[in-house]
């Protein structure tokens, strides 16, 4: 059976890719044939590799199966703006069917696929559909990344309620500590544990340099 997980977050820039790398490496250790998939990416490009998204490259490098960049990230935009707007302006013709086709191709190569969304749960992929619509169609299991900072409690509660109200399975949530010192970090965590129905899968400690990572020191369990 092929396992397919969709990574969403409480906001943009809260560590979805960083946590995705940890999850891919963990799944690799369990012997899965893993593949990372970031169907749509905008901004965060790298001059070294041309018009390629840095987050997508991280997913590609941490997948256990060999993947071409286009298999990981079929739609890439130079500008850091909402994908549905860029899609409309540049005429890329992104739709749910194109995202599903890319996912299907990965199922022919792997049995554990991690799909990273863009922004939050209801980020539009067009003026007609959001990522949430596509996740429901594909019956993907969701993992919620919560960046621990001021405002995260409200965002986390709203996001999980939206996921569950869309009759989508949320396998759990992962707390990503974003600040070196947060006065009420313990209180944030205890509040989230009280309100979030889905299980806590792990906590990622604050790291000054995300490029230096030893996943064996981070305890995140797979759903």
Sign of the C-alpha dihedral computed for residues 66, 70, 73 and 74 taken in this order: negative
Q: How far is CA 181 from CA 85, 124, 152, 191, in A?
A: 37, 34, 15, 18
Q: Please report the DSSP string for 125-189 in residue order.
A: SSSS-BHHHHHHHHTPEEEEEEEESTTHHHHHHHHHHHHHHTT--EEEEEEEE-SS--TTHHHHH
Of 3, 16, 29, 38, the active-site residue reads: 38
Catalytic residue list contains 38: yes
Contacts of residue 198, defined as CB under 8 A and 6 or more positions apart, other chains included, come to: 144, 160, 170, 171, 172, 173
Residue 203, beta-bridge partner list: 175
Q: Which active-site residues does the annotation give?
A: 38
């Amino acid at each position: 059976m092929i396992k397919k997980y969709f990574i969403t977050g409480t906001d943009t820039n809260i560590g979805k890719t960083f946590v995705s790398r940890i999850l891919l490496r963990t799944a690799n250790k369990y012997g899965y044939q893993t593949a990372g998939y970031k169907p749509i990416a905008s901004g965060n490009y790298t001059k070294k590799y041309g018009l390629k998204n840095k987050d997508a490259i991280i997913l590609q490098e941490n997948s256990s199966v060999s993947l071409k960049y286009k298999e990981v990230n079929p739609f890439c935009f130079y500008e850091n703006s909402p994908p549905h707007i860029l899609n409309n302006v540049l005429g890329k013709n992104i739709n749910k069917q194109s995202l599903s086709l890319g996912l299907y191709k990965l199922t022919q190569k792997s049995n554990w696929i991690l799909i990273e969304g863009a922004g939050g749960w209801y980020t539009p992929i067009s003026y007609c559909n959001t990522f949430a619509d596509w996740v429901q169609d594909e019956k993907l299991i969701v993992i919620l990344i919560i960046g621990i900072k001021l405002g995260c409690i409200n965002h986390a509660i709203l996001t999980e309620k939206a996921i569950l109200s869309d009759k989508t399975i949320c396998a759990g949530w992962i707390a990503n500590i974003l600040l070196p010192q947060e006065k009420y970090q313990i209180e944030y965590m205890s509040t989230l544990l009280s309100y979030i129905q889905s299980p806590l899968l792990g906590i990622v400690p604050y790291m000054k340099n995300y490029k230096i990572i030893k996943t064996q020191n981070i305890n995140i369990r797979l759903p």
